[in-house]
Structure 1
Amino acid sequence: MTSAAFDTSIEETVEALTGPWRQPRQMLHGQTYDSHASIHDDATAQKLGFKGGTIEGPTHFSQFAPLCERLWGKAWFETGCISAHYRAAAFEGEEVQAIVEKPADGGNYATIRMMKRDGTEVLRGSASIGIDAPASALDIRLTELKPLSDAVILRDIKLGMTTASQTVRMDFDQNMGELYPFSLEQKLKVITEPSPYYAPESAGSSPWGRAIIPMEMLSVLFQHGSKKDRLPVKGPSVGLFADQEIRLLRGPLFVGEDYRLDRQVVAMSGSKRTESLWVRTEVFDNSNAPVATMLLNLATLKESYASYDQEYAALPRS
């Protein structure tokens, strides 16, 4: 017998589904890349104007899962897509709440947002199911980007650049490395929305008869080997996730299974404070069938790159 996916308390109105207030846990205090601490380290974050180490964006995806499963059932785990623009950082101890606007006439697309108690919007975007869903929030955002000019940190990156294929997997007790110094087992002890579909002792009662990887941990799986990409980004520097979309094509993805990843640079954009690298990851199973994609905007903070001003001043001008 298949068990219920979640026992999360959901408030339902005519217009929306709203989840409970949650306090996500920050598990990246020990994250390192470029041989230094990341934006999730309190001291590093404070130097860059944040009040402390930030909660990693996809951690918030878990709070939307029960709401989307309420709307679309099993299809959410198989062809679900969450597409988000991160608007404000959240910090450990803060309460946040997920809200999904109900689609019209039982449709396959909904707008989403996450709020803090003080009304700050943490993220906004879309959720959907199926390959025939309307354009996602980031599909639209890609068409509206301000092109990157006078690149310094991304000076050597070219649109269309690809990286070598990698094989990745996630076992329950596997430490996911310097970028993600914890295991799925550790995450499941603190995940905001637990599910019997995730846990090894209960996953046999899932519709697939085995444990599935939570949406937020797909980000960890897909980024696990990104240090091997060798994309020529200038550093050391500090980046943060500014936009992210995870789309399941033939899901769910399973614990203890090998997957192949291919990555490609699909856009570059800029702001006063950042240079942004947009990378699309395509994920394939062992039969070479596409099972998922991820679109990620890694925004690098200009002020975190020590020689930014000097190298910017030396750029050739037309």
Structure 2
Amino acid sequence: MSDDITIKDGYMYGGWRAPVNIWQGAPGSIHTDDVAQKIGMRGGTIPGTIHLNLFPPLLIKLFGQRWFEKGSMSIYYTYATLDREEVRAVLELPPEGAENVQLRASVETPQGQTVAKGTVDIGEPEEVSYIRKIPLESSPPEELRILANMKPGTELPPQENMVFTQEQLNRALETITDPIDWYKGSSPWGSSILNPSSMYGALMVDVRGNRVGTSVGFFGATELRNVNGPIKADTPYRKTGRIVCVGASPKTEFIWMDSELYEKDSGKLVADMRHMNRLMKASSPLYQKD
């Protein structure tokens, strides 16, 4: 467990971490320097979901194991960091004894740049999460090019036997800065549990085959919610998902997706996710003539 957590002026701060961009060199990826620089980025970027792994040490310090059973994080990515650039997690402190509470959450750089912002929940607070407050407004189909084939409300084929293996989890632990013991073979729930970026991997729904042409994408926002958690390694789940919004901004097209994991035997909802991907217009041949 992290021993460099500090508290000041009503906030809890994690220690500084320097995530490594192991995705550098991936063809056509925003994590690769030359690809990212061609579309106006400083260089190959760290995936936003990697920053989610900064929060569990703080959440465990505040709430113990309960966050993995009935807790959520709802995070909007605002600034892309590069290989080994330092970041830390920041959480608002809860009222003493609070069992159902929402807290402000962010990731920041030493220079004070906000990398991500949102909320974390424990239990069932009355407040709506950061991402659920965002209005989902789809664009008319004629305004879309890259995502022209994506339709809001489309139910995706369920995956009847989704298993995130310990081997996959071990590979993920090589990329994160806070690999707590519960991810490594045993936990209060028996087997290993998934860290947040692996939770994203387990809940991810793949709609890339429906895009038109080539484009460079990046993560815009992620909400992970443990309903009857945690998600365990080497455990089969039923996964469902759907497209909930498809739209466009001046520089991107974007898609919001919801997904869920259910216990195979009982049908009980274990966890769910709302996630947004963005596709850079400048990276697509469909916009080159504009």
TM-score, normalization by structure 2:
0.91
Residue 79 (structure 2) pairs with residue 84 (structure 1): no
* Residues 33-71 of structure 1, C-alpha deviations (whole Å, 9 max, x = no match): xxx521112221121111221111111111111111222
Contact kept in structure 1, 2:22 and 2:175, CA below 8 Å = no
Match of 2:256 in 1: 278
- Does structure 1 residue 296 correspond to structure 2 residue 275? yes
**Does 2:287 correspond to 1:308?**
yes
| Contact 1:163/1:231, CA 8 A, preserved across alignment | no
Match of 2:22 among 22, 27, 45: 27
Contact residue 213 and residue 286 of structure 2 kept, 8 A: no
Q: 3-state SS of the aligned residue for 1:59?
A: helix
Q: Distance in 1 between matches of 2:220 and 2:156?
A: 21
Write the distance in 2 (CA, Å) between the matches of 1:24 and 1:125: 20
Aligned residues: 284
SS at match of 2:182: coil
Equivalent pair of 2:75/2:222 in contact (CA under 8 Å): yes
Counterpart amino acid of residue 186 in structure 1: R
Task: Note the C-alpha offset of 1:271.
Answer: 1.3
Aligned counterparts of 1:8 and 1:24: Cα–Cα separation in 2: 18
Q: Distance in 2 between matches of 1:9 and 1:69?
A: 14
Which position in structure 2 is the counterpart of 1:148?
139
Stretches of structure 1 lacking an aligned partner (at least 5 in a row): 1-5, 174-182, 314-318
Q: What secondary structure sits across from 1:213 in the alignment?
A: coil
1:60 equivalent in structure 2: 51
The alignment status of 1:116 with 2:109, answered yes or no, reads: yes
* SS of corresponding position for 1:210: coil
Would the aligned equivalents of 2:137 and 2:245 in 1 still touch at CA under 8 Å? no
Query: Unpaired runs of 5+ in structure 2?
Result: none
**Which whole-Å CA distance do the structure 2 matches of 1:66 and 1:130 have between them?**
18
Residue identity opposite 2:256 in structure 1 = W
Cα displacement (A) at 1:268: 2.3
Asked if 1:9 corresponds to 2:4, the answer is yes
Q: Distance in 2 between matches of 1:299 and 1:239?
A: 5
Deviation at 1:237, TM superposition (A): 1.1
Would you say the 8 A contact 2:259–2:273 is kept in 1?
yes
User: 1:140: how far off?
Assistant: 0.5
Q: Alignment partner of 1:164: what SS?
A: strand
Task: Choose the corresponding residue for 2:129, options 111, 133, 136.
Answer: 136
Letter in 2 for 1:12: I
Question: Is 1:185 aligned with 2:163?
Answer: no
How far apart, CA to CA, are the structure 2 residues paired with 1:146 and 1:194? 37
Name the SS of the counterpart of 2:279 in structure 1. Answer: strand
Q: Is the 8 A contact 2:169 2:233 kept in 1?
A: no
Q: Per-residue displacement from partner, 1:82-105 (whole Å, max 9, x unpaired)? A: 111100001112000110011345
Give the partner amino acid of 1:136: S
For residue 207 of structure 1, give the secondary structure of its aligned residue in structure 2: coil
* 1:96-126 CA distance string (max 9 Å, x none): 0110011345352100011111111100000
Percent of pairs with identical residues:
30
Q: Which residue of 2 aligns with 1:170?
A: 164
Query: 1:132 Cα deviation (Å)?
Result: 4.2
Q: Counterparts in 2 of 1:194-213, with a 5 A limit?
A: 194-200=179-185, 203=186, 206-213=187-194
User: TM-score scaled to structure 1, two decimals?
Assistant: 0.83
Partner SS state of residue 270, structure 2: strand
Between 159-168 and 183-192, the greater mean CA deviation after superposition: 183-192
Shift of residue 249 of structure 1?
Answer: 0.7
Is the Cα contact below 8 Å between 1:8 and 1:19 reproduced in 2?
Answer: no
CA distance in 2, matches of 1:22, 1:230: 31
The CA deviation at 1:146 is 5.4
Q: 1:116 to 1:255 in 2, by over 3 A?
A: same
C-alpha deviation, 1:30, in angstroms: 5.4
The one-letter code sitting in structure 1 at the alignment partner of 2:190 is: G
Aligned-pair CA distance for 1:231:
6.0
Q: Could you tell me which residue of structure 1 aligns to residue 91 of structure 2?
A: 100
* Alpha-carbon distance change, 28 to 260 in structure 1, aligned in 2, over 3 angstroms: farther
